[in-house]
Amino acid sequence: MMDFDPTRPKWEQIADVLRERIADGTLPPRALVSEVQLEAEFDVARGTIRKATAALREEGLLVTTVGMGSFVAPTD
C-alpha cells in the first residue's frame, strides 16, 4: 500500500507511479493496465484509478480499447 501525500490528489500520485513503471519497463508496451488490480493495490475507488488512466491516455502513454481495457501504448 502507498503512503499518499495529503497535499496532492491521489489520482495524480497514482499516475506518477504508473508513469515510472512505464518508463522503467515494469509495464512494457502493450501490457494490460487493469483498473481492478490497481484499485486493490492502491486501495482507492475505481473513479480515482480512472482519473489516473485518463491522464495517461491524454499523454499518449495508454491506449484504451472498448470492451478490452487499457494497455501501455506501443513504442513502434
Residue 1 in any domain: the answer is: no
Closest of 60, 48, 64 to residue 19, by C-alpha: 60
Q: What is the domain extent for residue 62?
A: 10-72
Residue 57 in any domain: the answer is: yes
Q: Residue 22: what pLDDT? A: 98
Q: Residue 75: what pLDDT? A: 85
The pTM (predicted TM-score) of the whole model is 0.93
CATH assignment of the domain containing 59: 1.10.10.10
> Does residue 1 surpass a pLDDT of 80?
no
The C-alpha atoms of residue 62 and residue 6 are separated, in whole angstroms, by 26
3-state secondary structure of 55: helix
Tens of pLDDT, residue by residue over 2-54, are: 899 999 999 999 999 999 999 999 999 999 999 999 999 999 999 999 999 99
DSSP for 14-50, written as a single string: HHHHHHHHHHTTSS-TT-EE-HHHHHHHHT--HHHHH
3-state secondary structure of 2: coil
Number of separate domains in the chain: 1
